[in-house]
Structure 1
Amino acid sequence: MLILHDPDKLQDLLDAWEEIGVSGATILHSTGLGRTRTNPGIWDDLPLMPGLRDFFEHEEYFSRTIFTIVPDEAMAEKVVDATCQVTGDLTQPDTGLLAVLPLVKVYGLVKREY
């Protein structure tokens, strides 16, 4: 699971993951407690009927939370390395948060052949 703080890096990240063999991911718009506290009322000041210009004039405070499932620890390490190539050092502020979690069982996952 990766929380990517810079949404502009999303496409590069997905490309890097696909290059190492990640075949799928789920991507959600998200925001954390810190960003909510420092930017209260995110999007609250948009007009009732916004136009495209209204959206482009607002700075984006949303992250992307990306979930993927990989088959083993070796692949998880490749995901970590590929992620750091795109985001830079994850110990630096405003890069992201990456967690590798063990799964006991997964239901509904179909292996795809490309």
Structure 2
Amino acid sequence: MPKLVILITPLIDDAHTVADAWQQAGTPGVTFIESYGMRRLQEATHNPEVLPGIMSMIELLRNREENSVTLMSVVQDSAMADRLIDAARQIVGDLNGPDNGILFVIDVERAVGLRPYSSG
């Protein structure tokens, strides 16, 4: 069954290295999304209730460069997902440690257009 592998990390430079490693492991592609965690929003504003002005909070974070990156890749099976997890751990470190990120895998019911990575 195909898997969706998602890594959310504040280590932006490392995220690019992870994406390269994922491609070398054979993933068909990697998508980057700029993201902001609620905890970072709260820390930036020193306010536990940020929802009413969340868009202005995001602008604040963009200016302070306190964002994260979310990497996503749909892969063929659990074995490939395991390779991506191993590659991410080697680059960002212990995901159970503070401020390294979180990684999770979701089953994909159906994937259309999934093919191996080709560098050429």
Tell me the TM-score normalized by structure 1.
0.79
Deviations 1:62-114, CA, capped at 9 Å, x for gaps: 1001110010111110010000000000000100110111111124x352673
Larger radius of gyration: 1
Equivalent residue runs for 1:7-86 within 5 Å:
7-40=12-45, 41-44=57-60, 59-86=64-91
1:94 aligns with 2:99: yes
Distance in 2, Cα, partners of 1:68 & 1:91: 21
Q: CA RMSD in A?
A: 2.1
Unaligned runs of 5+ in 1: 46-54
Which of the two has greater helix per residue?
2
Structure 1 vs Structure 2: percent identity of aligned residues? 31
The one-letter amino acid of 2:115's match is K
What CA deviation, in whole Å up to 9, does each residue of 1:42-77 have, x standing for no partner?
5449xxxxxxxxx8xx54111001110010111110
> Scaled by the length of structure 2, what TM-score is found?
0.75
Point out 4+ residue stretches in structure 1 off by more than 2 angstroms. 40-45, 109-114
Q: Alignment length, in residue pairs?
A: 102
Sort the Cα spacing of 1:68 and 1:38 in 2 relative to 1 into closer, same or farther, 3 A. Answer: same
Q: Distance in 1 between matches of 2:10 and 2:60?
A: 21
